Amino acid sequence: MIRVAHLVSHPIHYFIPIYKELHKIKDISFTVIYYTLKTTGKLHKNNYSRDINYNVSYFEGYHWVSFPKSNLLEIPNCFYNSPRIDILAHLWKEKYDIIWIHGYYLVINWFAVLLQSFNKRISFLRTEDVLFHKRKNWKKIIKYFPLRFLLSQTYGLYIGEANKKYLEYYGIPKTRLYPAIYCADNQYFQTQYEKYFPYKDNIRKDLGIVNPYPIILFCGRLVEMKCPLLLLEAFQIVATQLPCNLLVVGDGPLRNVMEEKITRDKIKNVYFTGFLNQSEISKAYSASDLFVLPSTHDTWGLVINEAMNFGLPVIASDLVGCVGDLVKDGENGFVFPANNVHKLADCIKTLINDESMRKKMGQKSKEIIESYSIKRCVDQLVYAFKSVMYLPKNNHSCSDPINE
């Protein structure tokens, strides 16, 4: 029996299905340790927090441990945060075979890795970071050597090819890297597709869309890094030539700016839904014809996973972390240079103008996303844990067990 503890900042709805499946593995004892429970059910990003009903049972179906302090603390916004003596005491007492940390900006994660090294036990790091997002030089310098030291004490779990390059850059050799793909709950979303797609026309009407034109879908926070204004400008260009709709799912500080532009420029056929939970967002995916994520800073972009389960072609910027894995340019969508509104408009026009291409690319999306499942991610995690625990150090195979 391998005893694994997973340290993570807070309950993340995308991760819960993975925890539940790991809990079912007979020869692994899996425990989740949360830094805070206070933000459960909130969308929390960079000082932007909002209560969201994701329609998810956060604490059922797997083992987790709670500490009194976890009910009081918020998610810290920077590295300088509490080292959490209570969690360290728990780790010292339990002496888990493996500690799997998510990210490195919590001080407790660094202490946990050092504790594992002291006890001659194993640490894994899974993070979302990629190299192509620009940072100030002084931040790079300050970060480089401490992070290389931390990663010298861990094995790496990479979520995709861009993330793999990041971990290699900071010093984890290929022999200590294992895949652990980023995934949405494919089974759930495919069931939702079967449930709602036959009622696509009715859903469109419920959303207030009574015309027959194709729907361009955006899902995400309406903040600068997600570039919803860029998409609105591209839609404005396209809509002067081809009839279409823009459906915006999400909310945030840029919503008012977008609505002011729509009023000022008299842009028609733009619809806002606000935030939607997983059941409601499935209706938006089912009603739509193509999906766009124009972000300049998205380390992965799990909404793309979701959209692909609904057979949608995808347009994404080259600064979205998953494009090297999920978006095959010209096959299931297009990749455009970030911040280039005219290139984005051209991609949208191509798909709006060709229904057969949309359907062909949408089918390819469904084929690609099949291999980005919860089951495959869990199989990869179990393979990594067992490989490091049981195989001789010079006999590790870091390939994907599913492809062997």
What are the pLDDT digits (tens) for 63-107? 999 899 988 888 777 666 778 999 999 999 999 999 999 999 899
Q: Are residues 293 and 176 in the same domain?
A: no
351 and 228 co-located in one domain: yes
Gap between the terminal Cα atoms of the chain: 24
Do 207 and 304 share a structural domain?
A: yes
In this structure, the answer to whether residues 395 and 299 fall within a common structural domain is no
Single-letter residue type at 114: L
Does residue 196 sit in the same domain as residue 340? yes
CATH at residue 76: 3.40.50.2000
Would you say residue 54 has pLDDT above 50? yes
Q: In DSSP terms, which residues pair with 48 in a beta bridge? A: 45
pLDDT for 403 = 55
Its domain, for residue 122, covers: 2-183+373-403
- With cut-offs at 50, 70 and 90, classify the pLDDT of residue 354: very high
Q: Please state, in angstroms and rounded to a whole number, the distance separating the CA atoms of residues 130 and 170.
A: 11
Q: Are residues 391 and 340 in the same domain?
A: no
- Shared-domain flag, residues 205 and 88: no
Cβ atoms 72, 99 nearer than 8 A? no
Rounded CA separation 290/96 (Å): 46
Same domain, 137 and 275: no
Instruction: Report the chain's mean pLDDT, rounded to a whole number.
Output: 92
Q: Which residues contact 218 (CB under 8 A, 6 or more apart)?
A: 228, 231, 246, 247, 248, 249, 250, 291, 292, 293, 294
- Judge contact between 8 and 34, C-beta under 8 A: yes
- Per DSSP (E only), the strands in 211-357 are 215-219, 245-249, 270-274, 290-293, 314-317, 333-336
Q: How many domains does the chain have?
A: 2
Sign of CA dihedral 217, 220, 224, 225: negative
Of 61-75, 97-111, 314-328, 344-358, the range with the lowest mean pLDDT is 61-75
| Gap between the Cα atoms of 48 and 45, Å rounded | 5
Query: Are residue 129 and residue 22 in the same domain, yes or no?
Result: yes
106 and 213 inside one domain? no
Question: Alpha carbon 321 to chain centroid distance?
Answer: 9
Write the DSSP symbol of residue 76. P
Q: Helix, strand or coil for residue 274?
A: strand
> Quick one: pLDDT at residue 137?
79
Average pLDDT of the segment spanning 304-329:
98
> Quick one: pLDDT at residue 115?
96
- 176 and 217 in a single domain? The answer is no
Residue-by-residue DSSP string for 379-392: HHHHHHHHHHHHS-
Other Cβ atoms closer than 10 A to 212: 9
Average pLDDT of the residues in 233-243? 97
Helix 186-196 vs helix 302-309: angle between axes, to the nearest 10 degrees? 40
Mean local confidence (pLDDT), 237-257: 97
156-164 average pLDDT score: 98
Asked if 348 and 235 touch (Cβ cutoff 8 Å), the reply is yes
Average pLDDT (171-197) is 97
Query: Which of 248, 247, 241, 190 lies closest to 215 in space, CA to CA?
Result: 247
Measured CA to CA, the distance from residue 1 to residue 23 in angstroms comes to: 13
**pLDDT band with cut points at 50, 70 and 90 for residue 49:** very low
In which band, very low, low, confident or very high, does the pLDDT at 404 lie, cut at 50, 70 and 90? very low
